[in-house]
Amino acid sequence: MIDFERIFNDYFVEHWTHGKNVAEGWVNTQCPHCSDKSNHLGFCPATGACMCWKCGGHSTSYSLSVIIGCSPFEAEKILREYSTSEIIQKRMTQKIRARASSIDLPGDKLQDKHKKYLIKRGFDPELIEAKYKIRGTGHIGEWAHRIIIPIYYEERIVSFQSRDITGKADLRYKTLEPEKEIMFHKHLLYNLDNCKKERAMLVEGVFDVWRFGDNVLSSFGTSLTKKQLRLLSDTFTRVFILFDPGREAQQAAKEVALYLNDTGTETELLLLDEGDPAEMKESEAIYLKKNLGL
């Protein structure tokens, strides 16, 4: 048995346990696989099944990965952690997760090692530090040897992501745990506060945003949650999507475009011949933004 209700509570996913479209004992949410405007995607705690009453059955782990914004492998791990056997072992000692009320950013001003890393990747450390309020950490602690990247929403820090600068960490990018975030980062878009036009460009990561600047957003990866998609469609009339040229990234970009076009947001896919947007020369980035009216 899988506690889907608790998963959705912990990851701040809107869900229903009764009412319209909800079968007895099931937990429903909005389906990410079709143009669902309601709550047609159901998860069965007893069997682990996943079924949309509009578009049919789906992989439970893949559906969960899209909804909460993680990889299918991570979703499988979450499903195991929230199975009955794991819950029985942990429930007596585990506190119910609650939203944080403030964010304590690790680190301080960028050190030479952080600046050298950014310069090596073609960025101006002083400019990036001043504009995006990034910080650098020392050599000890959970966030050691990382650049700390605050995530803002309406000019308030609601979470942060970090980037390893050594090339040795298991996780290159590491984000604050959901229970410590004021807002779940996969319900947000990085750099939204600096997007003031009715059109914007969507990229994968924060370094891609830094290459282009204002009116460019990151979805923290190619897998977008329903809330990120709705935020795009509710905020912009036209969206350009520039993901990495790999097959999986391009397939994800097409799925985002299909959803946005279906909601009335005009969407255009952009494709680089090679490399990712963060590797572009500054002059190339400026030229592209100018041509797109950004």
Domains of the chain by residue range: 4-90, 112-184, 192-292
Q: Is the pLDDT of residue 103 over 60?
A: yes
How close are the terminal C-alpha atoms of the chain, in Å?
49
Each residue's pLDDT tens digit, 186-213: 889 999 999 999 999 999 999 999 999 9
pLDDT at 16: 94
Query: Rounded mean pLDDT of the chain?
Result: 89
Residue 125 near residue 114, CB atoms below 8 Å? yes
**Of residues 60 and 112, more confidently modeled:** 112
Instruction: Please give the share of the chain, as a percent, with pLDDT higher than 90.
Output: 57
Q: Is the pLDDT of residue 281 over 80?
A: yes
Q: Is the pLDDT of residue 95 over 70?
A: no
The residues, any chain, with a CB within 8 Å of residue 41's CB and separated by 6 or more, are 28, 29, 30, 31, 32, 33, 50, 51, 52, 58, 63
Read off the pLDDT of each residue in 108-122 and give the average, rounded to a whole number. 97
Quote the CA–CA distance of 160 and 277 in Å, as a whole number: 21
Structure tokens at 72: 């299918």
**Of residues 8 and 55, more confidently modeled:** 8
pLDDT at 291: 94
pLDDT at 96: 39
Q: Is the pLDDT of residue 151 over 50?
A: yes
Q: Is the pLDDT of residue 88 over 50?
A: no
Fold assignment, 112-184? DNA primase DNAg catalytic core, N-terminal domain (3.90.980)
CATH of domain 4-90: 3.90.580
**Of residues 119 and 90, more confidently modeled:** 119
- Using DSSP, state whether 271 is helix, strand or coil: coil
Read off the pLDDT of each residue in 215-225 and give the average, rounded to a whole number. 89
Structure tokens at 108: 């301080």
pLDDT at 100: 59
Q: Which helix (H) or strand (E) holds 229?
A: helix 226-235
pLDDT at 286: 94
Read off the pLDDT of each residue in 212-236 and give the average, rounded to a whole number. 91
Q: Which of 13, 9, 46 is nearest to 30 (CA)?
A: 13
Between the CA atoms of 49, 55, 61 and 64, what dihedral angle is there, to the nearest 10 degrees?
Answer: -110
Quote the CA–CA distance of 56 and 52 in Å, as a whole number: 5
CA distances from 96 to 6, 57, 91, 99, 179 (A): 9, 31, 9, 10, 9
pLDDT at 156: 94
Each residue's pLDDT tens digit, 18-52: 888 888 889 999 998 887 889 999 998 887 888 88
Highest mean pLDDT among 9-18, 80-89, 134-143: 134-143
pLDDT at 43: 92
Q: For residue 247, name the pLDDT band (cuts at 50, 70, 90).
A: confident
Read off the pLDDT of each residue in 117-132 and give the average, rounded to a whole number. 97
pLDDT at 85: 56
CB-neighbour burial class of residue 170 (10 A; exposed 0-12, middle 13-18, buried 19+): exposed
Among the CATH numbers 3.40.1360.10, 3.30.465.10, 2.60.40.10, 3.40.50.300, which is that of 192-292? 3.40.1360.10
Read off the pLDDT of each residue in 104-118 and give the average, rounded to a whole number. 96
**Of residues 125 and 48, more confidently modeled:** 125
